[in-house]
Amino acid sequence: MTKKFGKKAAMVMLSATLLGGVFVTVPNALTTTTAQASAKISYAEFKDDVAAAKSAVKLATPAAQQILNSKFFTKLEKNPTNAYNVNASNSFVSIMTALCNDGTKNLDSDGHLTTESTKDWKAIQALSNHFIGEFTSNGQSTVQDAYDSIVANDGDGWTDYDGFPGYQWAFSQGFDGAFNGVKVTGIPSTPKSYISKLSAKKTSKKYVKVSGSAKLYKSANYAHIKTYKGYRYAKLNSKHNFSKSIYAPKAKTVKVTVGHYANGHYKAVTSTKTVHVK
């Protein structure tokens, strides 16, 4: 039974409030629901969560976006199940941690919101509102308390520096209660790279011309060509084709792999393909 994602609890914006000379909109208290994730999440639902997280990050400061960049999300997407692990370095909770850390740094000396920390707060709420509908009622209550500690009700505006770290802790607890142990199903398998064409022809009594092309799903830049005389490398062009004339007068067969070569190290990304010399 897979987790059912409906619309997450919506963040309704209240009337704008003037805080320390910065005109910002204040989100209302989070809507409390009782939905909770089950043990399985489909890959499509995972991709929906990723898209929501990326949209939330776009609301944050440039500094936060620099941390939560495309490289971060590439790592997160490579291990979908790990993305729901609250202790993982590339997870949805680590996104919240980065946003809260940046928001804390951008508060003023009295712990009040500034233009920059307001951006982080909007990103924090966008991420929360996507997931909050899956938290248990206790998890939602914990997040609600953290929310209330930031949005003060006594007219003073905003609380001190403990607000954002407290919110991160509350979100982490609620998230763990909802997603601990879930598995992402239907993850598409990564296609394997392979050598699609390969030929070896004698161009003279002493030389063999080895040519071919590869279909790549991983980064590669060289073909590794082996004959009885040893091995040589042929650089791939932009279309993943390669060609090399090799001194091998008595060669009967040629073995080739395609892979990545850098700093004296070569790692094949295809299996070995053997071709007879014509």
pLDDT digits (tens, 9 = 90+) for 118-133: 999 999 999 999 999 9
Task: Name the one residue in this structure whose structure tokens are 């161009």.
Answer: 203
Which DSSP symbol is given to 190?
P
pLDDT at 10: 35
* Residue 253 CA, distance from chain mean position: 43
Cβ neighbours, 10 Å, residue 155:
5
- By residue count, the chain amounts to 278
- Distance, in Å, from the CA atom of 130 to the CA atom of 58, rounded to the nearest integer, reads 15
For 147-195, what is each residue's pLDDT tens digit?
Answer: 888 876 443 334 544 689 889 999 999 999 999 999 999 999 889 999 9
Beta-carbon contacts of 124 under 8 Å, excluding residues fewer than 6 positions away, are 56, 96, 99, 100, 103, 164, 167
- Residue type for position 147: Y
pTM over 0.75: no
